[in-house]
Amino acid sequence: MRVICLDVGEKRIGVAVTDALDLTAQGVETIWTKGFERDAARVLELCRQYETDRVLCGLPKNMDGSEGFQAQRVRVFAERLSQEGLNIRFEDERLTTKLATDLLIQGDVRRSKRKDVVDKLAATYILQSFLDRGGWRDDEHKKVELRGVWHMSENHDLDMEREDIVELVDEDGNEVSFEHLMTLEHNGNAYICLVPMEPMEDVGEDELVIMRIETDEEGNDYYATIDDEAELDEVFEKYLEIAEADDEE
């Protein structure tokens, strides 16, 4: 299935799409923004045209990796698209617009013409970078939200052959075994990324559970589920970045 890529700006949205084999990125058009509702309607038309529900949004992070107003604006628009049933992913787009502009300048494209194509070209850069890193893999973990506080089970006997298995207890005393995928740091907090070992209510196959590691008054670690959707998205994106870097190595 093809992937449509959006380079979302304040005045324009550049659009690119993969070829039928999902090997190369091709520029499609530039959408001149007319409000989220009309812009979303045009994206839906393009998705129907290319028979896909996969949308990759460029995320304009700051150079230090943090997210500012424009990145949050992209996330809001992406959330609007997801409400229409589209499957959304994000790709770091730092410097892509500058690269596209530099290329147009080198090609002697007049300033008056650049704004018509620069965002479309930037979307092509974003999408090609995504494809070069492996593209849209259906086996990637998806995040899932749980609620409450979990503690390490006191009765858990460590499986010496599977040191990546942890057993947690929820607030109702239910014990659940998880595979530990990764512990990571983000914005000064520590997070643990897990996958249930057995089918679990509210957790689908290949879905990723992310919890924030906290410490109680007695100095014991516990695992708090995340209520803030933005925080959950940020940690999930960092998990994907680290996992993809590990795959490349």
In this predicted model, what pLDDT tens digit does every residue of 179-237 receive, in sequence order?
888 899 999 999 998 888 777 666 665 678 888 999 888 888 888 888 888 888 888 88
| pLDDT > 50? residue 33 | yes
| pLDDT > 70? residue 169 | yes
Most confident of the ranges 35-39, 97-101, 178-182, 231-235: 35-39
216 and 236 fall within a common domain: yes
In this prediction the pTM is: 0.54
Encoded tokens for 76: 């809001």
119 and 33 fall within a common domain: yes
pLDDT of residue 106: 53
Q: Which residues, 6+ apart, have CB-to-CB distance to 222 below 8 Å? A: 149, 150, 151, 152, 213, 214, 215, 216
| pLDDT > 90? residue 77 | yes
CATH assignment of the domain containing 71: 3.30.420.140
Parent domain of 31: 3-132
126 and 169 fall within a common domain: no
121 and 98 fall within a common domain: yes
CB 18 within 8 A of CB 28: no
pLDDT of residue 101: 46
Of 208, 192, 148, residue with least CA distance to 173: 148
Encoded tokens for 238: 């960092």
pLDDT of residue 63: 65
165-169-172 Cα angle (round to 5) = 155
CB neighbours of residue 191 within 10 Å:
24
What gap in Å lies between CA 50 and CA 5, rounded to an integer? 12
CB 238 within 8 A of CB 246: no
What gap in Å lies between CA 71 and CA 162, rounded to an integer? 39
CB 244 within 8 A of CB 231: no
92 and 197 fall within a common domain: no
Instruction: Select from 132, 163, 182 the last residue of a domain.
Output: 132
